[in-house]
Structure 1
Amino acid sequence: MTVRIDDTHRFAEMALAALRATGLCATPRNYELWYAHAEGKNPALSAHIQKAMDETGKVSQEKADALYDQLVQHDDISNDVINLVTRFHTEVTDLWDIVEKSGESASGHNEKLTSLSAQLRESTNNYPAVGTLLEGVLSVTKNMMSENANLENRLAASAEEVSNLQRDVEAIQAEAMRDALTGIANRATFDRSLDKHMTEAGEAKEPLALVLSDIDHFKKFNDTWGHQTGDQVLRFVADVMTANVKGKDLLARYGGEEFAIVLPGTTLKNAHMLADRIRTAVESRRLRKRRTDEDLGVVTMSMGVALLKEGETMEMLIERADNCLYAAKNSGRNRVIDEKEFSEMPQERQKGVA
């Protein structure tokens, strides 16, 4: 796709103007973040920027850094790695098929040559006059058999190497699709999975629900106990959620302390029930710091649930689930709010976070 110079200049001016308006320095990271916002290609980023603004329209550098780390820094890298590994995986699979077929062919020729050699030796007993000629043929046959044996050995070694390489590629591909800290699916995998399931739901006329969740007061854990304890909280929540997500459902780390669950074939009511079951399971356990055994208290979560509408884009579905999530936070946290409840709430409770 051709990039128009005028458009890039316009986006750059919009980004710089936005940096001035929000009170941020024009550092490369800040500029890249606001340029991506100005392009409008990442609705989730734009929505988070709006929520990060205070009453005067300013954004703190801390929030800007968090948005950059969550939604800009790793997205392209993760997608590129997955695309590269997928293409390489296809090439390796094709090579494996060729090697297998070649090995079968060589083995078949070897068996035929062995049979022919035995027949020729029997013929020399019946027709001594042609013995010299047949011995020559046997010599050629023996050489061909030896070459075929060498070829089979080389092909067998190559096949084993290709098989090992294929396993390595599959391991790399799986690693690229996982969040390093929690072991669940990462943001890039979530985007791909949601897009795929939305297409399938539309074709099959089946429901598709999306749950977005956020750990309440997560910053307090980090500030009070340190980032290592914050990581322990994230892994704990991921483990509890994993135990409750089954079958085709996908659990992913959406970014920071946010998690997402894609629920194909699930109604709004059932998705709400699952989200509340997870919320209760997380709240029911008290955490203790691993090294010192100090009591960390109870972890709670706020969740928003939305159901895919006909003709809706992925960005629209995510935004509606995100609005429900923030309404849950604004209503006191530690609760699940779905889009039906959201539509019936007073407007002042739908916006902002308490």
Structure 2
Amino acid sequence: MTERSDDTHRFAEMALAALKATGLSATPRNYELWFAHAEGKNPALSAHIQKAMDETGKVSQEMADKLYDQLVQHNDISNDVINLVTRFHTEVTDLWDLVEKTGESTSGHNKELTNLSEQLRESTNSYPAVGTLLEGVLSVTKNMMAENAKLENRLAASAEEVTNLQRDVEAIQAEAMRDALTGIANRATFDRSLDKHMNEATEANEPLALVLSDIDHFKKFNDTWGHQTGDQVLRFVADVMNSNVKGKDLLARYGGEEFAIVLPGTSLENAHMLADRIRNAVESRRLRKRRTDEDLGIVTMSMGVALLREGESMESLIDRADSCLYAAKRAGRNRVMDENEYEALAQTDEKGVA
């Protein structure tokens, strides 16, 4: 048994044991969820499960379903990818069969040519029907040319098909990474990118900043104007934020009306300046309802900024940025608060209490 097989069986046993320990049914969804957790390749999923286990000692079925829907399930994408892989496999198999068949045919033609050449050398003394031999040589040559032309045409068609498959795979991959409503990166892409950039920042000993932002009073937009107008607001905010994000920076829809920006190689001060520039840009434009041209007023945002610390986990970095975000909301909204301001505010509160 290979090492990969051993790992797979070990993960499967761990998943089943965890399901039994939590009291959840061993349904395919629950099994897939715990297998992904045991495999350790979905840090966001593992963080949520570990947090729940630490706090309550269990994971409810409701939470398991929510985690599966948010962080595991991609059936529509998976089906497309499976279909593409199947087409690709069929194409390569057919091409290989043709090459193998053509190779056998060419080998047979070569044997015929060799035999005919031997007979031609002997024709003066023992085989007077030279004309017949020459006709045989011409026939074999024509057959070889036809086989080669067939192979060339098939290779050209296969190359075109492989190119189309590559474009389809790239399109599906890009779609899987985007939020359907706003067109920016989705939560899954954010989780993978943040983990990658954190590792790179640690190895290069460079700063990494994280900005979490939230649209103020977003529920009011939905309740007053309807969800379609709410979607319009989300797209507007995403467009404004995206126009201010450059290079390796990543903008993602974190969830609902929350957005996140990963800023590699960026200090806390510069991240704060960027966040405040975005906040001002969003606030400076009045929105109007598309169908009726009604004035929707202005949109404001609250933002929290944190800087990666040595040896810090992804969950810890997100929690600190989130704490800054909600401190900004408590302080009156429509503002940016970084972790230095947050800590200074916390110390002031402690002294006031004392």
Quote the offset at 1:10 in angstroms.
5.5
Contact 1:86 1:173 in 2 (8 A): no
**Match for residue 201 of structure 1?**
201
SS in 1 for 2:328: helix
**Match for residue 320 of structure 1?**
320
Alpha-carbon distance in structure 2 between the residues aligned to 1:310 and 1:334: 30
Alpha-carbon distance in structure 2 between the residues aligned to 1:339 and 1:86: 45
**Match for residue 294 of structure 1?**
294
Contact 2:202 2:310 in 1 (8 A): yes
Of the three residues 36, 40, 46, the one matched with 1:41 is 46
Q: Structure 1 residue 265 and structure 2 residue 261: aligned?
A: no
Alpha-carbon distance in structure 1 between the residues aligned to 2:246 and 2:210: 14
Q: Structure 1 residue 142 and structure 2 residue 163: aligned?
A: no
Of the three residues 71, 75, 90, the one matched with 1:75 is 71
Alpha-carbon distance in structure 2 between the residues aligned to 1:226 and 1:206: 44
1:110-151 C-alpha deviation (Å, 9 max, x unpaired): 9xx9xxx9xxxxxx9xx9985643442222111111011112
Change (3 A) 1:134 1:349: farther
Q: Scaled by the length of structure 1, what TM-score is found? A: 0.70
**Match for residue 161 of structure 2?**
161
Change (3 A) 1:78 1:203: farther
Change (3 A) 1:4 1:147: closer
Quote the offset at 1:160 in angstroms.
1.1
| Residue pairs, 1:98-177, within 5 angstroms | 132-177=132-177
Contact 1:250 1:261 in 2 (8 A): yes
**Match for residue 343 of structure 1?**
343
1:241-269 C-alpha deviation (Å, 9 max, x unpaired): 01000111110000000000011111111
Contact 1:45 1:71 in 2 (8 A): no
What do you get for the CA RMSD once the two structures are aligned? Answer: 4.2
Alpha-carbon distance in structure 1 between the residues aligned to 2:51 and 2:149: 64
Unmatched segments (≥5 aa) in structure 2: 1-10, 25-32, 38-44, 56-61, 114-119
Unmatched segments (≥5 aa) in structure 1: 14-31, 51-64, 118-123
**Match for residue 187 of structure 1?**
187
**Match for residue 253 of structure 1?**
253
SS in 1 for 2:243: helix
Change (3 A) 1:137 1:7: closer
**Residue identity (%):** 69
AA of the residue aligned to 2:272: H
Q: What is the number of residues matched between the two proteins?
A: 292
AA of the residue aligned to 2:191: D
Quote the offset at 1:338 in angstroms.
0.8
Alpha-carbon distance in structure 2 between the residues aligned to 1:86 and 1:316: 36
Quote the offset at 1:44 in angstroms.
9.8
Contact 2:95 2:154 in 1 (8 A): no
Quote the offset at 1:321 in angstroms.
0.6
AA of the residue aligned to 1:143: N
Contact 1:92 1:162 in 2 (8 A): yes
Alpha-carbon distance in structure 1 between the residues aligned to 2:253 and 2:311: 26
Quote the offset at 1:70 in angstroms.
8.2
Change (3 A) 1:92 1:248: farther
Alpha-carbon distance in structure 2 between the residues aligned to 1:347 and 1:9: 45
Q: Scaled by the length of structure 2, what TM-score is found? A: 0.70
